[in-house]
Amino acid sequence: MHAALWSRLVGFERSDLEAAVAGRTLVRGPLLRGTQHLVAATDYPWLRPTVAPVLERLARSPYYARETAGLDPDAIVAAAGEVLGADPVRRRDLAAALTSRWPGRRGAVLAAAVEALTPVVHDPATSAFGSWWSRRDIAVVDAAAWLGRPMTEPDVRELVRRYLAAFGPAGVMDVQAFTGLTRLRPVVAGMADELRVLRGPDGAELYDLPDAGLADEDEPVPVRFVAAFDNAVLGHRDRTRILPEAHRTAVMPGYSMVHATVLVDGFVAATWMIEDGTIAVHPLEPLPDVDEVLAEGARLAAFLDLDADRVGTGTRRG
């Protein structure tokens, strides 16, 4: 998350994010596509109910169904509610409570189902930074209690507007792929009076906000280091507008993994990772200006308190 914001915001400091999550102006939890997202606390109360159908569908998937078979989802939520409250609860403790309630079932799966079935957010003390990757140590808390406000009504139209503000011009299928919601064509059609309609190179109908500008196709694009699972890569159904098909399996090798990437002229040209205390760039194709890539990598390494002097290229992938 630090790298994602650093690549987007001029003057971004790590303390900015730390202060925002500690002050509860940013919260993290399962949202779009059923995956974890960090969002403004003011947006969570309408966004979580809006994507509830996606999360409920996830809770019915085979991974969960093996453990929840025969259980009423409301009963699972009620049992979790006896543990969850205004104070964060470790996932492993929630899992233990649910296993005690239903012996013989995997409590970790039941606890994960709870996060899909009812609004919860993650305690920043356990989920904002280093321990984010230790899933069993993450603590969860009732979202309404944490935010001090209840959930509100779903607002699918606002979600469409927010999506287009970030990723437009885009088609209906793009919105659906990014959000996980389905049957949005009537929703977008009902917004015709507030959206601009364009045509893509293939004649496909695309939508955008009326005051959104279009960059000149010849405008120079700087090198950017993009974080793992970054929405820039996942923002459209057709990801070839940023991720060449030839590189897709190198960036998305399976098991829901999306590697961190390097954009050159707006397209993925390499992956990157932290190795031996510095940043290693793994080209997917010949890089036109290696020095520019390494210079940007050195700036990111310095920001992340890594060894900026040893940033280099590793084995070519793809």
Per-residue pLDDT of the chain (318 residues; tens, 9 = 90+): 789 999 999 999 988 998 999 999 999 999 999 999 999 999 999 999 999 999 999 999 999 999 999 999 999 999 999 999 889 999 999 999 999 999 999 999 999 999 999 999 999 887 654 444 455 578 999 999 999 999 999 999 999 999 999 999 999 999 999 999 999 999 999 999 999 999 988 899 999 999 998 888 888 899 999 999 999 999 999 999 999 999 999 999 998 899 999 999 999 999 999 999 999 999 999 999 999 999 999 999 999 999 999 999 876 555
pLDDT for residue 56: 96
Beta strand spans in 89-131 (E): 89-90, 120-122
Fold of 156-208: Arc Repressor Mutant, subunit A (1.10.10)
Report the number of secondary-structure helices (H) and strands (E) in the chain.
16, 12
Give 211-217's long-range contacts (Cβ < 8 A, gap of 24+). 212/164, 212/165, 212/168, 212/169, 214/169
Give the neighbor-by-neighbor strand order of the sheet with 261-264: 224-226, 261-264, 267-275, 278-283, 312-313
Q: Which two tokens stand for residue 228?
A: 């793992």
Q: Which two tokens stand for residue 98?
A: 């649910």
The sign of the dihedral angle between the CA atoms of 178, 130, 16, 222 is negative
pLDDT for residue 318: 53
pLDDT for residue 131: 41
Tell me the C-alpha distance between 105 and 73, whole Å. 14
Q: Which strand (E) or helix (H) includes residue 34?
A: none
Residues in the chain: 318
The torsion angle over the Cα atoms of residues 223, 229, 233 and 238, rounded to 10 degrees, is: 160
Q: What is the CA radius of gyration of the chain?
A: 21
Is residue 266 within 8 A of residue 222, CB to CB? The reply is no
Tell me the C-alpha distance between 229 and 251, whole Å. 10
Domain residue spans of the chain: 1-147, 156-208, 224-307
Give 269-275's long-range contacts (Cβ < 8 A, gap of 24+). 270/313, 271/317, 272/225, 272/297, 274/304, 274/306, 275/314
Is residue 264 within 8 A of residue 293, CB to CB? The reply is yes
- At residue 140, φ and ψ (nearest 5 deg) are -120, 160
pLDDT for residue 317: 56
pLDDT for residue 316: 55
Residue tagged 């305690």 (tokens): 123
pLDDT for residue 127: 63
